[in-house]
Amino acid sequence: MSTIPHRELRNHSTEILRRVEAGETFAITNHGRPVARLIPYVDSASALDVLRDAGRVTTARPVDLDSLPTASGVSSREILDDLRGER
């Protein structure tokens, strides 16, 4: 990550934004103190697609809660129905 003063960002914004679009990240400083980070924009849907395609995440599948075993012999649906009936 490159560090640049805010004045350089102001004076060379077109060039810096072109570099960000190409994937570079910048720490922006004000009087030598980091105040912001300029990173490439990534659409969250496409980021998930990239992670899924790389095998780093898997897509959740629907689960039939009624088919899961229960410790008490009472299904979560029955417990929720009972709790909701008390309102």
**Domains assigned to the chain:** 1-41 (3.40.1620.10)
What stretches of 1-87 show up as alpha helix (H) in DSSP? 6-11, 13-21, 44-53, 76-85
Question: Three-state DSSP class for 32?
Answer: coil
pLDDT band at 87 (very low <50, low <70, confident <90, very high): low
Residue 38's nearest CA partner among 2, 74, 7, 11 is: 2
pLDDT tens sequence across 26-50: 999 999 999 999 999 877 777 888 8
The structure's pTM equals 0.51
Contacts of 66 (CB under 8 A, 6+ apart): 75, 77
List the structure tokens of 4. Answer: 């640049």
